[in-house]
Structure 1
Amino acid sequence: MKLTILGGGGFRVPLVYGALLTDRAEGRVTEVVLHDLDDSRLYAVARVLDEQAARVPDAPKVTAITDLDEALRGADFIFSAIRVGGLEGRANDERVALAQGVLGQETVGAGGIAYGLRTVPVAVDIARRVARLAPDAWVINFTNPAGLVTEAMSRHLGDRVIGICDSPVGLGRRIARVLGADPKEAWIDYVGLNHLGWVRGLRVAGRDELPRLLADADLLGSFEEGKLFGVDWLQSLGAIPNEYLHYYYFNREAVRAYQQAEKTRGAFLADQQARFYEEMKRPDAAALTAWDRTRAEREATYMAENREAAGAGERDADDLSGGYEKVALALMRAIARDERTTLILNVRNQGTLSVLDTDAVIEVPCLVDANGAHPVAVAPLPEHATGLVCAVKGVEREVLAAAESGSRATAVKAFALHPLVDSVNVARRLVEGYTDVHPGLAYLK
């Protein structure tokens, strides 16, 4: 089975390959094609993968190429993890937004809109090529903003594109762990959009254990989300929100923390990864050791500004292991081998949430089999969550419309309608600022 990874020179590709190395079953991935536009990054990542495979018999063969069409042909699965504009683009997204006093995070608020505006046209081009060159392939999208990009691609690929994210997986794992349950045995009632969802229940052997957690202040305050949001607020919500909702519930504090930080997250990662890729140019460098060291630092500093604003302290060691690569592997195995499983995924709504139309991509538990991912029926969201979901989905639709039409006015509308952008004039200045620094937004007229 052939897996093509778009963004194959990306720093987290070794996580995916490491997961593949653990799969020894029949029908596993035997060929991995790395595609990237940057030869030097491809070379660096290929070196890490080579060291990972050194002691693994019959490891999947790795090929690195820069021709997109060649990479797509014959693929059974296509993993999209591209970053249009690179980390420099992410740093610019943050800088322009913070200069206007609004959030510049890469998937939430102004930064997410800017990232989406320059990513959607590229993702749509990829989707069209997949439809032409690999019509039977399944596309697994991790490219951010994941829900928005998955919806853009689904207009050309239908249900053969599925978005993944590690945030719901990590959240469910933490809740199960603090309740003393096996995460593999727990049913997680999670619903929303990507980076905008809530856990409303966690069932073990048919019993919802979440009320027990919400009633125990000490237990609730003992893990990441309890520290980040505060016990009182979680008890008021009656649910555990995805960590990215901290940007909504504590927006002023988050923006202030980002403004006061020595470097934004994007600037930090740009510098950190530049050092890694530069080190990989030395033939004698220990590629896997350097990658492991860099990844540990990256994970430990994840959402550091939010934790500082909340006084949440350092991340727990158990939360530094990522997880999206395991979701990707489980998804591929379920489809390729009809190994039925349940995963929280980004898929078309298909009537699951009545407040959104059929084609809106949402993030919910799905039953996965050889025919793809099928969203599970969920109870309606409470009004406060419905309002946020509908507002942000409306913004995503304006981003898609702007990307399709090239309308600058529609791009302004997308920014202005977002709950975290509080002024039409700010929206206009954001579009001016972003078009000044991003060549990929030159299409907006």
Structure 2
Amino acid sequence: MSKSLKVVTIGGGSSYTPEIVEGFIKRHKSIPIKELWLVDIEEGYEKLMIVGNLAKRMVKKAGINMDIHLTINRKEALKDADFVTTQLRVGLLDARIKDERIPLSHGMLGQETNGFGGFMKALRTIPVILDIAKEMEQLCPNAWLINFSNPSGMVTEAVQRFSRIKCIGLCNVPINMTKSVAELLGHEQFLLHFIGMNHYVWAKHLYYDGKDILQEMLPKILEQESERAVVKNIRPISWNKDFIISTGMMPCPYHRYYYMHDDILQEELEDFSRGKTRAETVKSVEAKLFELYKDMNLDKKPKELEERGGAYYSDTACDLIKAIYTDSREIMVVNVRNNNTIASLPDDAVIETSAVITRAGAIPLSISSLPDVAQSELLQLKTFERLTIEAAITGDYNTALRALTHNPLVKHGKITQIVFDELLEAHKDYLDKWNKLD
């Protein structure tokens, strides 16, 4: 436990980086990181320098012994690493803008991790992450890969199934849901037991004072959610409360895309008609953040970072690294191998659930069976995910179309192929395996 650690953050030029640096500073006594390598690509070099110099000022202010290294040489950074975190976005925010605008132009939801947008992001991201995993097998084979690059569930499953690297995925949605319940209860002495998939997860139990009080609290939780957004990128459109209560589970905010599809689509189309998408809002927020980061007097994470939409991802990654390193056996919500936790899904599928974190990895908690209708929903989405992973690895056009036909947020028929072809053309610089349009 006295070993000094080497941690590598790939996508180190991200606007989220000050949060992970702050997290490592706060936990330095528990996780003695001697080297923190921030890695990016040539196109992200300027941002890497800006955020990297802020990281150095933060460490200097904290007065801890942690060296910050900035590089675009990934292999140099990975050598002998203990933990690797991935927070990359292939194609940067301009790619996300295309993922949103092109489907919206055809009357479909444009969203970063769901529907066509999430599909295209997976096609771009999975090959890159698998390349990183392959390099890790050679340069740091015992390291843990902590992934919070979206779509986190698919990326984590691809690594677990097609590499030898130990990998756990994270999402900030359960964290935000837990914080909302904490506000209602007035403290944090409770346990929300989550089960499902990334961006399609439910809280199935709320254990408090020796009993499960979820059914009692569900109407209050839904009322709270109708008043403010749990996550920044999804508006708090009121749920059909009777319908949700009938499920007996607390849905995550992303369930709105499925349960309230037409309502959200209408709002997004109205924004789109005014020339606005969520991706462009985020790009504006990020530009302002980097202006703040340039200030040589700034030596802490600015509060404005919370407006970015992915708050708590990085801080939770720090908690996960600490839990693995110290073998703390604490319970966290992670993307992990199913291992019959959800009987209707393959054992090697990745699910999102509450798990005990040990030095050997995440061990999912046993949980009561999901209702048949919920299992049916998960099976459809997992089929989509597994076909998407196959398409990302093989570059097979028909496998991609098969995947899209299993996604309930995608229009089916000739329009599917039309939109897919447009997106392939738009992202051709980042899709080396796809040659259909050449």
Identify whether the pair has TM-score above 0.5, normalized to the shorter chain.
yes
3-state SS in 1 of match to 2:33: coil
Determine the C-alpha separation between the residues in 1 that align with 2:414 and 2:144.
42
Q: 1:15 and 2:28 equivalent?
A: no
Per-residue CA deviations over 1:1-27 (Å, capped at 9, x if unaligned) read: 111000000010111111111114254
- Out of 176, 198, 202, the position equivalent to 2:206 is 202
- Structure 2's unaligned 5+ residue stretches are 231-235
Shift of 1:48: 2.0
Q: 1:335 aligns with which of 291, 315, 324?
A: 324
CA contact (8 A) 1:127 1:157 kept: yes
Hey, what does 2:244 align to over in structure 1?
A: 234
Matched position secondary structure for 2:171: coil
The residue number in structure 2 matching 1:349 is: 338
Q: In the TM superposition, what whole-angstrom CA distance separates every residue of 1:386-413 from its partner, at most 9, and x where no partner exists? A: 1221111101111111122211111122
Cα offset for 1:228? 4.1
User: 2:183 maps to which residue?
Assistant: 177
Q: Does 1:326 align with 2:312?
A: no
Contact 1:13 1:45 (8 Å CA) reproduced: yes
> After the TM superposition, which residues 344-423 of structure 1 pair with which residues of structure 2 at under 5 Å, given as runs?
344-423=333-412
1:133 corresponds to 2:139: yes
Deviation at residue 221 of structure 1 after TM alignment: 5.8
1:131–1:156 contact (8 Å) kept in structure 2? no
Residue of structure 1 aligned with 2:418, choices 407, 410, 429: 429
Aligned counterparts of 2:124 and 2:219: Cα–Cα separation in 1: 44
Q: Which digits, 9 at most, give the CA deviation of each residue in 1:82-127, with x for residues without a partner?
A: 1011100000000111112111211111110011111111111111
CA shift for structure 1 position 339: 1.5
Query: Which of 144, 157, 160 in structure 2 is aligned with 1:154?
Result: 160
Relative to structure 1, is the Cα distance of residues 297 and 189 closer, same or farther in structure 2, using a 3 angstrom cutoff?
closer
TM-aligned CA distance change 1:157 to 1:376, over 3 Å: farther
1:191 deviates by 0.5
Aligned with 2:259 (options 208, 225, 249):
249
**Counterpart residue identity of residue 89, structure 1:** A
Aligned equivalents of 1:101 and 1:223: distance in 2? 27
Q: Does 1:34 align with 2:38?
A: yes
Sort the Cα spacing of 1:228 and 1:325 in 2 relative to 1 into closer, same or farther, 3 A: farther
Q: CA separation of 1:370/1:218 partners in 2, compared to 1, >3 Å: closer, same or farther? A: closer
Summarize the alignment of residues 254-333 of structure 1 with structure 2, pairs less than 5 Å apart.
254-261=264-271, 262=274, 263-277=276-290, 286-287=297-298, 292=302, 294-299=304-309, 322-333=311-322
CA distance in 2, matches of 1:170, 1:297: 13
- What one-letter code is carried by the residue in structure 2 that aligns with 1:375? P
Look up the SS of the partner of 1:359 in the other structure.
coil
Tell me which amino acid in the other structure corresponds to 2:286.
Answer: Q
Q: Could you tell me how far 1:238 is from its partner in structure 2?
A: 1.9
Give SS of 2:145's match: strand
- Secondary structure in 1 matching 2:354: strand
Q: Work out whether residues 20 and 329 of structure 1, in 8 Å CA contact, stay in contact via their aligned partners in 2.
A: yes
Gapped regions of structure 1 (runs ≥ 5): 303-321
Structure 1 pair 176–230 and aligned structure 2 pair: CA distance change class (3 A): farther
Which whole-Å deviations, capped at 9, do the CAs of 1:238-295 have from their partners, x for residues lacking one? Answer: 2110111111111111112112114111122223324544676x6x655558x72642
Partner of 2:114: 108
Distance 1:81 1:430, change over 3 A: same
Cα distance in 2 for partners of 1:3, 1:94 equals: 33
Deviation at 1:175, TM superposition (A): 1.8
- Equivalent residues of 1:200, 1:240 under 8 A apart: yes
Distance 1:127 1:44, change over 3 A: same
Go from structure 1 to structure 2 and tell me whether the alpha carbon gap of 1:272 and 1:211 turns closer, same or farther (over 3 Å shift): closer
Which range moves more in the overlay, 99-108 or 225-234?
Answer: 225-234
User: For 1:443, which of 417, 433, 437 is the aligned residue?
Assistant: 433
- Answer yes or no: is the 8 Å Cα contact 2:153–2:350 preserved in 1: yes
What's the offset of the Cα at 1:151? 0.5
| Alpha-carbon displacement from aligned partner over 1:164-212 (angstroms, at most 9, x marks no partner) | 11111211221233133x32x3221210000001111110232112122
Letter in 2 for 1:244: Y
Structure 1 residue 441: deviation in Å? 2.5
Look up the match of 2:233: none
Query: How far apart are 1:338 and its partner, in Å?
Result: 1.3
For the residue of structure 2 that corresponds to 1:120, the secondary structure is helix
Contact 1:151 1:360 in 2 (8 A): yes
* TM-score normalised by the chain length of structure 2: 0.90
Note if contact 2:24-2:31 (Cα within 8 Å) is conserved in structure 1. Answer: no
Point out the more displaced range, 341-350 or 399-408.
399-408
Compute the displacement of 1:337 (Å).
1.5
- Paired with 1:25 and 1:337, the residues of 2 have a C-alpha distance of 11
CA offset at residue 218 of structure 1?
6.0
What is the total number of aligned residue pairs between the two structures?
419
Distance across 2 between alignment mates of 1:73 and 1:133: 5
Q: Once the 2 structures are TM-superposed, how far is the Cα of residue 426 of structure 1 from its aligned partner? A: 2.1
In structure 1, what residue type is equivalent to 2:376? G
Q: Distance in 2 between matches of 1:128 and 1:49?
A: 28
Letter in 1 for 2:433: Y
CA–CA separation in structure 2 for the residues paired with 1:351 and 1:442: 36
Match of 1:53, SS?
helix
What is the root-mean-square deviation in Å for CA atoms of aligned residues?
Answer: 2.2
